[in-house]
Amino acid sequence: MDRGRVVAVIPARFGSTRFPGKPLTLILGTPMIAHVVTRAREARCFAEVVVATDDERIAVVARAAGALVAMTGEARSGTDRVAQAVRDLDAEVVLNVQGDEPALPPENLRVVAEHLRAHPEVPLATLALPATDDDLANPNVVKVVTDLTGRALYFSRAPIPYPRNPVAGVARKHVGLYGFQRAALVEFTGWPETDLERVEGLEQLRALAHGMAIAVLPAAGESVSVDVPEDIPRAEAALKKIGRGERVEG
C-alpha cells in the first residue's frame, strides 16, 4: 500500500433514533451529506472521499456530490462503519469525518491528515480548541487534557481539569474528528466496549483504556453539528459565513 495514501470516510446511516433521515435533510437546499462531501473535497488532501452507508438513497446523493460509496452492513458505531468501508480500499491513513457537520473547516481535515501522514508512529489523532467557562460547565461539550507531548490523558463531559487554581489555556474542548493509521483502526474496532467508554458515553476512551496513544492537535477552526432538527438554522448560518469568507464560531 502507498504509505502516503490518505482517505476520508464519512459514515452515514438513515435510521438515526433522534433524527431519522438526517444525512438527507436539506441545509440551504442541499442534502447535508453533500455539504460534508464538499467540505472534505475542499481539503484537497485525500486520495478518495468515501461515504459509508447502509442506504441507497444516501448513496445516490453521495455519488452525485462526487464521493465514492461503500455499502456497509450493520455497525455498532460510525467508527465500525468506517472500518467496514476501508476493508477493500488502498489506504494507510483513514479520517473518520462526521456526517452531520456541513460547515466543518477543511483546514481541520488537513491538520489531522498531514500529521498522521508525517508521523506513522502515531496511531490516532484528533483536535481541540480552547474551552470557555460555559464549555466547562456544559456536559454536552467534551473536554480533554493532555500530557506535555500533546497526547491525551483523558476525555470527559465533566469540567477537567477542575479549576481550583485556573491557568489560562489549559482547559480545552474536544473537536470530534478522528484520524487513524489503518492498523490502529482495525485494532480499535476489534476491541469490545470498555467501562470508561460506557460511563462517559465517549468512544475514544476505549483507545485510552487499551493504552493506544491519541495525539491532540490544535484545531484550525470551529464546527457546528446537526444533532436534531432545531440545529439546522445554526448550520445554515455557519454555511452562509463560509460563503462570505468569514470564520465560523461555535
What is the pLDDT averaged over residues 11-20?
Answer: 85
Closest CA to 177 of 103, 238, 107, 125: 125
The top-level CATH class assigned to 6-243 is alpha beta
* pLDDT above 80 (res 203): yes
pLDDT of residue 36: 97
pLDDT of residue 248: 55
Closest CA to 72 of 15, 23, 134, 11: 11
What is the pLDDT averaged over residues 40-56?
Answer: 96
Amino acid identity of residue 167, one-letter, is: V
Encode pLDDT of 140-177 as tens digits: 899 999 999 999 999 999 999 998 998 888 999 999 99
Torsion of CA 214, 219, 223, 228, to 10 degrees: 20
Helix/strand/coil (H/E/C) assignment for every residue in 88-124:
CCCCCEEEECCCCCCCCCHHHHHHHHHHHHHCCCCCE
pLDDT interval class at 4 (50, 70, 90): low
pLDDT of residue 246: 53
pLDDT of residue 74: 86
What is the pLDDT averaged over residues 217-245?
Answer: 88
Torsion of CA 61, 32, 84, 116, to 10 degrees: 120
Q: What is the pTM of this model?
A: 0.92
